[in-house]
Structure formats: structure tokens, C-alpha cells
A and B are shown apart, each in its own frame.
Chain A
């Protein structure tokens, strides 16, 4: 089976995030593999171990993304591709990403493309479905179980807490949801072996793309942190009075009812 995984290097949203001049300050941020992409990598490894084949992890980013690619290789992926846009792409959006991936996949053979359900930084959830559309293959989002049998895939997906069961033909693109699996830690032998696994580096040129072809269709107007949580209020007095006061506050102060 020919398996591709789309992976994004993101900052760790559990760490403190600092915004400077309308951008997230990369200096202090911790960078990780997008957690949903970890499910995709793990699922790919399980599929490969069961059905044979090869896993290629693809990322679009800069030189720094090599660390996350190496981690995916250390977990067990076979090959990796860094589409390095550091010098060519200044502003990007989902259109940019999908356009680049579409060009990348043009001459590739694949049975399965796995992606994360969303990236935790921008959380658009668009890349998977839009790429599938461009490649003209079926797409199943937020999957929580996957079984492949020949050229069929039996999939369970999370629909707001319920489960939907789907059968599709391959090639298919799926986006992975929490609960799909338990991503493994890269083992020490894995880390050492990753050093020798292929890491191919491509630029826009190699994909026959120009900067103009991938110019974003959207514009970011502002980036800001949520307002700091203020101290809560504890109501006092008779229960009836408290209820009245609460309703009053919700209506007049919080304006939620």
C-alpha cells in the first residue's frame, strides 16, 4: 500500500503564546507535530505493518520542520518530503497549501492519504477535504476507526459524538480524529534509524509552481489573544435573590440572554 501522510509543524498551544506586531512570536514558542497529524502517522504505521507498503510523510514549511519530519521517521515512517517554501512564500493560506500539495501529488501513486482533522494553530480543517477535491478522490473527515480490505476501506467517523459508518473505495483521503489510536513514542532505535531514512527537499520550482500561483486568497486582518479571564463573582444572599441577580447580570452585563 502506498501511504502518504500530511503533517504540519505547529506551535504548542499548551505553552505560552506571545503575539508581537500581529504575528505569533516564534522565538519563545515550542514547536511540535500537529497532534492530529500524530494520529495520522500512527494509523499509517499500523496500516503499513498490516498490509505492507510504504509511508511518505509530507510537510510544507521551512528548514526547521526537519525536526518534526525526523520524528515521524523515528516513529516508523519510511520516507519524508519537505516542501521548503521559506524563500518563496511570504503569505500563505489554505489555498496556498492545497495548491502546493495538489502539484506535489500530481505525479504520485497513492492508495491512502492521511491528514489531521485540523491543525491546532489555525484550525481551519480545510486542507484534507480541499486536497481530496482537487485530486478528485473521496474524502472522509474526523475518522475514529479505519480498516482496509483490498480496494475498500471501512471507516467509522465521529459526528458530534455519534458514530457514522462508511465504506469507500481507495484511493481515499481521510482526516484523523482523537480516539483513532494512541500515537507511539519514537523509540531510541527509531530515532537513530531516522537519521538514515530519506528526507527529500523540494521547492516551488521543482513543482513547476510560481509564487503567483500560490498567492493566498484570504488576508489576515488581525491576530489577538483572547481577553484575560477576570475574577469570578460570587453571589450571596437568599437563593431567590441570587437567581434574580444572576438572571439580571446575564441579561444586562453579559448580554447572553
Chain B
């Protein structure tokens, strides 16, 4: 048993924290208020090699590990949920599936630009009628000659408006039992017939781009099919397992921020002649926050560690995602409470934490779906 981080992991934390505090933090409130995607920040993240942490150098990556990546998400999330979400989605959903399942040619062509920070990737799974139930996918991809012709609609897709490529799931046929075969295809965003619209007015993560995608006779070469055509469904389940670690890390970052803000405020704010941190009612809240944040951190890091050790991590990443994101929501809510009336105001930031944290209980598998995943792992 060893809870010590490696030097590289520690240096990653220090670097990302310094960067987040000096470059992202001064703009966080504006990013939320104007709901503007901070494209220039992503250029910087790319130059620092952050978009390629868990990928090897030969594919333009930084050659780091999942834990370093989780720490980076945590530190960005601690400062800005919007930037954190888009960052996590770019790496875990945009680039990772190509790394896991792509052919050598696909990796050279599509992964290298993403991992080296020259572009962002997106993952288009959710549809208006297929959210939690991804098996209900209605988008189709039909092989016509050497090309797949894709038709359908995707919704709530992170980063799509700024992406170079979108990995889209689509029904490519039926198996002998008549069940849909779902595959994944890499679609360049300049493909003809592809419309990307980001018109959502969101509650939180407002600076993260979220888009609707319409595919009308979009043609991609058949080489753009990602991985095993028969196992598309399994593939994206694996992708989501990995993605959960990053959303968990984002929850951890927000929870940490909420706790730090609440503690500092409670020590400063005086009512009834003393700092409110001297009241047991406030102390108990802070004690719970500190404990839950640390428990969440242990679970997130363990899930990341398991993945790095090539051990099964499905259950643990669901534990991490469920616990860390619910911790983020609770901690933000209590942070507002501790701030009293000030906490309700944008300037104090804790209300934003709550709005941002809410998304984490929904995206990449709702809390209910996490419980289903866990129960399935228990053999239920």
C-alpha cells in the first residue's frame, strides 16, 4: 500500500494548478456569465501537452498516466467547471476511443492532432430518443460502395462546435437475433451534410460548448469505422468507463473548491460576536465536506490507478463518478449555505459550483445509471 504520488504526478498538479490559477481563474466568472467557450485557453492547454496526457508520444501524446490526467482535470475543475468539462470530454471522449480502438492509420490521422493539442475531438452518442438507453440509437450508417452514409440526429454533444472530428455512434445492421449492431464512425466536422448547432441555454457549465448535430447523408470512407464493427456497443461502454474517472475528477475539483471557499469564509465571517466557524452547526458541515472530499479523492485516484495497472475498473469508476459528483453537489450546496445571502450571488462563485456540479450527476451516465452499473457488477 502506498498513497504517495510520483514526482511526475506531483509536478503535474503544481503546473496545472499554477496555470489554472493565473490563466483561467481571472476569467472564470465571465466564461460562465457570457457562456463563451474559451478557445484560446484550449490552445494553451494543447501547447502544455495537457490534451495528450494519457497517450504515448508516438501518437502526439505526453506519455503520462491516467492518474496524472485525473489530477489535471481535478485542478482545472477546482477553478472552472466549464473548462474542466470540455477538457475532460476532449481527452476521454474525443481522443481516447481512437486510441483504444483505432487502427494505426486512424491513430496517425485522427489521434495525433487531438493528442498534440492541435484540435479537439467530440463523442456523439446521445440522441433525442436515446440517452441513458444508448441501445436505442436511431442514427444509421449504411455501407454504400466504399463509403458509409450516415443519417440521424445527436444532442448534447460537448465541444462539437469546436471539434476537428466527432466519433459518432450509429446502427450499421442487425445480428442474427435481430438486435441492432451499433458501431462508431469518425466523422470530420467539415463533412458535407453535417450541421452543428449550439443553441442550448444551460443551467451550468455554460462556457463548455454543447451542440446538437444533424447528419444528412453524411459520407465517410469505410476506413473511418472505428474498431470492431460488431463490438461498437462494448467499445463505447469501455470508453464511458474511462470517461467516468474524468467526470469524477471534475466533481472532486469542484467539491474541493467549494470546501476551500466555505472554510475560508466561515473563519472570516463574524455573527453573534464570533466567526461562524465557531458554531457547531457550521463546523459539522465543514467536517462533512472535508471528509467527503478526501473520500472522493481516494476513490477517484484508486479508479485511475486500477486503469493504469490494466486491472478491471468498471465498478470502481462508477463508484468514483457517483460518489465524487454527488459530493460536489452536496459540498457546493453547503458552501452556499455557509455563505448565507452572499453565497447566492455570482461574485462569490459558490452558486456556480452548484450549477456546474448538477451536470456531473447527469452527463456520462446519470447517478441512477451508475447505480445500475454497480448493481450489475454485483451480479444482480
Contact = CB atoms under 8 A, between A and B. Distances in A.
User: Are these two chains actual partners, yes or no?
Assistant: yes
B57 A186 contact: no
A74 B64 CA distance: 13
Interface in A56-112: 66-67, 70-71, 74
B368 interface: no
A188 interface: yes
Nearest to B44: A185
Interface residues of A, number: 15
B15 interface: yes
Contacts of A154: none
Contacts of B8: 191-192, 194-195
B53 A187 contact: no
A190 B57 CA distance: 12
Interface string A21-64: 00000000000000000000000000000000000000000000
A70 B49 CA distance: 17
B47 interface: yes
Given A191-B64, A192-B62, A192-B63, A185 B15 contact: yes
The residue in B11, B12, B57, B62 that gathers the most chain A C-beta atoms within 10 A of its C-beta is B11
A150 interface: no
Given A188-B53, A188-B62, A189-B63, A66 B48 contact: no
Interface in B1-22: 7-8, 10-12, 14-15, 18-19
A191 B47 CA distance: 13
A74 B8 CA distance: 10
B372 to A, nearest CB: 35
B12 A191 contact: yes
B41 to A, nearest CB: 13
Nearest to A30: B14
B47 A187 contact: yes
Contact of A188 (B7, B10, B14, B50): B50
Contacts of B63: 189, 192
Contacts of A190: 49
Contact of B57 (A70, A71, A189): A189
Nearest to B63: A192
B11 A186 contact: yes
Contacts of A195: 7-8
A191 B19 contact: no
B251 interface: no
Given A185-B48, A188-B50, A189-B63, A67 B19 contact: no
Nearest to B116: A189
B52 interface: yes
Interface string A169-205: 0000000000000000111111110110000000000
A187 B11 contact: no
Nearest to A186: B15
Interface residues of B, number: 20
B51 to A, nearest CB: 9
Contacts of B47: 187
Given A67-B7, A70-B7, A188 B12 contact: yes
B90 to A, nearest CB: 14
Given A185-B48, A188-B52, A192-B62, A70 B19 contact: no
Interface string B36-64: 00000000000111101100010000111
Contacts of A186: 11, 15
Name the residue among A71, A186, A192, A195 with the largest chain B CB count within 10 angstroms.
Answer: A192
B59 to A, nearest CB: 12
Nearest to A69: B7
B339 to A, nearest CB: 22
A232 B206 CA distance: 42
A71 B18 CA distance: 13
A185 B19 contact: yes
A186 B13 CA distance: 11
B48 A67 contact: no
A41 to B, nearest CB: 14
Give the residue among A187, A188, A194, A195 with the most B Cβ atoms within 10 A.
A188
Contacts of A67: 7, 10-11
B57 A191 contact: no
A187 B53 CA distance: 10
Contacts of B53: 188
Nearest to B65: A192
A66 B8 CA distance: 12
A191 B8 CA distance: 6
Contacts of A189: 49, 57, 62-63
A15 to B, nearest CB: 13
A74 B18 CA distance: 15
Contacts of A191: 8, 11-12, 15, 62, 64
A190 B12 CA distance: 10
A194 B11 CA distance: 11
A189 B15 CA distance: 12
A14 to B, nearest CB: 11
Nearest to A193: B63
Contacts of A66: 7
B11 A185 contact: no
Interface in B282-304: none
A187 B68 CA distance: 13
7 contacts: A67-B11, A71-B14, A185-B18, A185-B48, A188-B12, A188-B53, A191-B64
Given A67-B7, A188-B48, A188-B50, 17 more contacts: A67-B10, A70-B7, A70-B11, A74-B11, A185-B19, A187-B48, A187-B49, A187-B62, A188-B49, A188-B52, A188-B53, A191-B8, A191-B11, A191-B15, A191-B62, A192-B64, A194-B11
Closest 4 CB pairs of A and B: A188-B49, A188-B62, A187-B49, A192-B63
